[in-house]
Amino acid sequence: MQLQSGDLVRHKDGGPLMLVRVASDDLAVCVWFDEHCKPCIGTFLAVSMVDMNSARREVAAQA
C-alpha cells in the first residue's frame, strides 16, 4: 500500500484517526489529536496502517 500526504489512516491495532503529512515506501509521519485535544505527531511503519479512504471506498463499492 502506498500512502500519500493527506490520506486518513488508522493503525491496524486501532487508535485515533490520523492524517498523513509525509509518506515514503516504508514510513508515514502522521498527525492527530489526543483525548485532551492536544496535537500529536508520530512516525509509523506504513505496512501497519489502514488507509481509511480506501476502506471507505471498498465498502461503498460493495453496497
Cell of 29: 509521519
pLDDT value of residue 37: 95
Kindly report, residue by residue over 3-59, the tens digit of the pLDDT.
Answer: 999 999 999 998 999 999 999 999 999 999 999 999 999 999 999 998 887 767 777
Distance CA 22, CA 19 (A): 9
Residue 63, pLDDT > 80, answer no
**Domain spans of the chain?**
8-62
Distance CA 63, CA 15 (A): 26
pLDDT value of residue 1: 65
**Pair 42, 30: CB distance under 8 Å:** yes
**Pair 29, 42: CB distance under 8 Å:** yes
pLDDT value of residue 43: 96
pLDDT value of residue 5: 94
